[in-house]
Amino acid sequence: MTGTLYGVGLGPGDPELVTVKAARLLGEAGVIAYHSARHGRSIARSVAAPHLREGQIEEALVYPVTTETTDHPGGYQGALDEFYASCAARLAAHLDAGRDVVVLCEGDPLFYGSYMHLHKRLAGSYPTEVVPGVTSISGAAAALGRPLVERDETLTVLPGTLPAEELAARVGDGPVAIMKLGRTFTKVRAALEEAGRLDDAWYVERATTAAQRLAPLRDVDPESVPYFSLALLPSPVGAPLPLPERPRHEGPGEVAVVGLGPAGRPWLTPEAQDALATADELVGYGPYLDRVPPNPRQKRHATDNRVEAERAEHALSLALAGSRVAVVSSGDPGVFAMASAVLEAATQERFAGVPVRVVPGLTAAHAVAARVGAPLGHDYCVVSLSDQLKPWDVVARRISAAAAADLVLAIYNPASKTRTWQVGVARDLLLEHRPAHTPVVVGRAVGTPQETIVVTTLGDLDPAEVDMRCLLIIGSSTTRVAGGVVFTPRRYPA
């Protein structure tokens, strides 16, 4: 097994712009390699230093030349080719020994970086991965606070080492970045002046570092320009846009009745997220409202769970005054929740013209069913055991009718602190039509850390184990339990 070669981009210089992946690899690698001039100082190593650990092997790759002047028989290019071949051989020895090698790179490894010369020599023989980094161009644009390109503009990137006439010809009239200044600065400035773009050009030196320098390129002394600098001609900003005003609604706003699903952001639909994000005011039962992350831009109106009509009228009144209001409900707002209350209140003449829309959510019945399989796979009905808004004899008749019709039942609101007897009575009504071995699913607090799912039978159902956070699914004559799942076949026997 050989080691892996990593070309790791460190960004333009600010150590906080090192990516999370790059930081992890810097700490894990057995060998750290980096380039430097003959003075031995490496900008890349200084950026990586906070992430290195004791005991790592370091390979300093010291350039034999830093200018094109050399007595090497192959000239400047020959000296560099020999240097990169030697460096590749040194790193290959570590890779052959099974050690991972990280080559440090300023900016991005494959954007005018020295790493690519090692990559071309080693990638065909060893596992290789390149970790991209923030480029110096992106760092320069961020430092200037100017957009690089927008809409259909084209960014032109040029090396300052091109001949002056070629630079002038390629600059064009769009955004441009010119790399590798240093000794090429005077030529680059002359090319920009010839192209009529000198007044558009900015000089950026050591972007994002403590030594960063920004200036109009026209004003820069050529003698002060290091290699790690660039010329940037960003996208024109134009006149400042007017500051946006807080939206003022002509006439009424709106009420969106939003289903939050059973629990947690993963259960929230994108449409519900948008309705919550764009609301001016949020209205709802306190515990449900607490599930929406606070935003100081929004007003929140928490109420008790037993004042649905008042809550609905309050939301409509806020919308009548021009607010975008989100009324939150657990699960789906149209299933034993706030949608009916809001729509009923909206029929009052004083709320005429207030738009109301219902944003669906994942129901508790479907969430519990999914946890065990597909018990709702055939015809089923949904019943609430609460007798707060309807007489108990109506509830009892509906349970008996559903049981006689051999429907699967999803039972909401089975019990509360003040309602403790209905579950037992409902079980006995069902046993008049269903055998004791009928599968029953008891789902509690589905989607939360307190979630529990119990699969039992109608005969063994213990009412004492059921509370308001539970939902019950009572199987039909065809509901089966097999292999740890509960399902009701789609085909019903003739």
Strands (E), 55-96: 57-62
- State the burial class of residue 277 (Cβ atoms within 10 Å of its Cβ: 0-12, 13-18, 19+): exposed
Query: What is the residue extent of each domain of the chain?
Result: 5-134, 137-233, 254-359, 364-487
284 pairs with which residues across the strands?
302
CATH code of the region 5-134: 3.40.1010.10
Residue ranges, the chain, pLDDT below 50: none
- DSSP conformational letter for 220: -
Contacts of 316 (CB under 8 A, 6+ apart): 255, 325, 342, 345, 346, 351, 354, 356
Nearest-Å Rg of the Cα atoms of the chain is 35
Residue 205 CA to chain centroid, in angstroms?
Answer: 33
**Whole-angstrom distance, CA of residue 347 vs CA of residue 7:** 66
Helical segments of 123-249, H only: 136-144, 164-171, 185-194
pLDDT at 138: 95
Residues in the chain: 494
- State the burial class of residue 237 (Cβ atoms within 10 Å of its Cβ: 0-12, 13-18, 19+): exposed
Strands (E), 160-207: 176-179, 202-205
Token pair for 87: 């460096």
pLDDT at 246: 60
pLDDT at 66: 64
**Whole-angstrom distance, CA of residue 372 vs CA of residue 252:** 45
pLDDT at 249: 56
**Whole-angstrom distance, CA of residue 486 vs CA of residue 74:** 77
Q: Which CATH architecture has domain 254-359?
A: 3-Layer(aba) Sandwich (3.40)
pLDDT at 239: 63
- Express the helix, strand and coil content of the chain in percent, nearest 5 each: 35, 25, 45
**Whole-angstrom distance, CA of residue 461 vs CA of residue 411:** 13
- CATH homologous superfamily of 364-487: Tetrapyrrole methylase, C-terminal domain (3.30.950.10)
**Is the torsion defined by CA of 308, 312, 317, 323 positive or negative?**
positive
pLDDT at 433: 95
**Whole-angstrom distance, CA of residue 410 vs CA of residue 382:** 5
pLDDT at 485: 95
In the chain, count H helices and then E strands. 14, 23
**Domain 137-233 CATH assignment equals 3.30.950.10:** yes
CA angle 302, 273, 352 (to 5 degrees): 65
Given the DSSP bridges, would you call strands 101-105 and 31-36 parallel, antiparallel or unpaired? Answer: parallel
Amino acid at 60: A
Strands (E), 324-434: 324-329, 356-359, 373-374, 380-384, 408-412
Q: Tell me if 5-134 shares its fold with 137-233.
A: no
pLDDT at 389: 83
